[in-house]
């Protein structure tokens, strides 16, 4: 029997592409220098897929994708994507970014995810004071999709690419150090984590940012070239929309 948990990364990637196709029903919020958002980590939950059976697990993943589309169309979900392999933290699966400053509201939106309701995933949400450009992602996704040919749309990776998602202590000290990445157009998004949901680790004041690099090793090599010290920074392989790279080039 196939272990369907092993298919989670490609499934989450397809789910993120369903989000891209859905777009954002309400359009992007007005841009400002920063945006107060909710960032949710999707982690492995307490219920193994084997406990639910293959058919039920497949149904839940289908509901996961459909629910992402629903949230995107409602203007709630701005960005989603799976972590790559091998994971730095084994239970990390993917992320949601919600367009709200209300931590409880963002977490409630995350909790509408069917696999999370069934215990396949568990959710950990934080305030994220981030570059407001993240609100441009849905519109940029739509523009990319509109430019694809019918054949290109058959490729699930046509509008996505590899990145690294990074977490480092003391955002105030770390952000200036990342200036060479920003100047090179390789800092996709930068934000500061705040209060988390009950039981979440205290990450207040930590930086959560995205670098335009294919792998963690490539990010470290590029940091060395640019003279950037990434010691103590968690560097996770991650997949998401090519719109994040477009933001980095601005």
* Burial status of residue 29 (CB atoms within 10 A of its CB: 0-12, 13-18, 19 or more): middle
pTM comes to 0.88
The pLDDT assigned to 250 comes to 62
Angle of helix 8-22 relative to helix 137-147, nearest 10 degrees, comes to 90
- Separation CA 202–CA 217 (nearest Å): 27
Low-confidence ranges of the chain (pLDDT < 70): 1-32, 250
Per-residue model confidence (pLDDT) at position 54: 96
Strand positions, DSSP E, 61-215: 77-82, 92-98, 121-131, 160-168, 187-196, 207-211
Residue 231, number of CB atoms within 10 A of its CB:
6
Q: What is the pLDDT of residue 16?
A: 43
Q: What is the structure's pLDDT at 104?
A: 98
The confidence score (pLDDT) of residue 2 equals: 28
Determine how β-strand 92-98 pairs with β-strand 77-82.
antiparallel
Residue 5 burial by CB count (10 A; 0-12/13-18/19+): exposed, middle or buried? middle
What pLDDT, on a 0 to 100 scale, did the predictor assign at position 23?
41
CA dihedral 192, 86, 141, 112 (to 10 degrees): -70
- In this prediction, residue 32 carries a pLDDT of 56
Residue 132: what pLDDT? 83
Give the pLDDT confidence of 48-64 residue by residue, as tens digits.
Answer: 999 999 999 999 999 99
* Domains of the chain, start order: 4-249 (3.30.70.1060)
């Amino acid at each position: 029997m196939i272990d369907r948990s092993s298919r989670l990364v490609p499934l989450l990637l397809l789910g993120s592409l369903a989000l891209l196709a859905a777009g954002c029903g309400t359009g992007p919020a007005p841009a400002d220098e920063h945006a107060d958002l909710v960032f949710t980590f999707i982690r492995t939950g307490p219920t193994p897929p084997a406990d639910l059976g293959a058919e039920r697990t497949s149904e839940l993943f289908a509901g996961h994708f459909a629910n992402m589309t629903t949230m995107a169309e409602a203007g709630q979900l701005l960005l989603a994507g799976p972590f790559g392999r091998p994971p730095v933290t084994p239970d990390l699966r993917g992320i949601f970014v919600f367009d709200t400053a209300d931590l409880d509201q963002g977490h409630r939106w995350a909790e509408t995810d069917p696999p999370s309701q069934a215990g396949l995933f568990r959710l950990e949400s934080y305030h994220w004071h981030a570059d407001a450009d993240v609100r441009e992602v849905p519109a940029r996704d739509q523009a990319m999709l509109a430019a694809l040919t019918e054949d290109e749309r058959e490729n699930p990776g046509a509008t996505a690419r590899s990145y690294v998602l990074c977490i480092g202590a003391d955002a105030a000290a770390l952000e200036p150090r990342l200036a060479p990445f920003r100047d090179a157009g390789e800092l996709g998004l930068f934000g500061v984590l705040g209060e988390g949901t009950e039981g979440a680790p205290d990450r207040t004041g930590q930086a959560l940012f995205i670098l335009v690099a294919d792998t963690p090793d490539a990010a470290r090599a590029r940091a060395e070239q640019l003279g950037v010290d990434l010691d103590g920074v968690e560097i996770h392989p991650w997949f998401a929309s090519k719109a994040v790279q477009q933001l980095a080039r601005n």
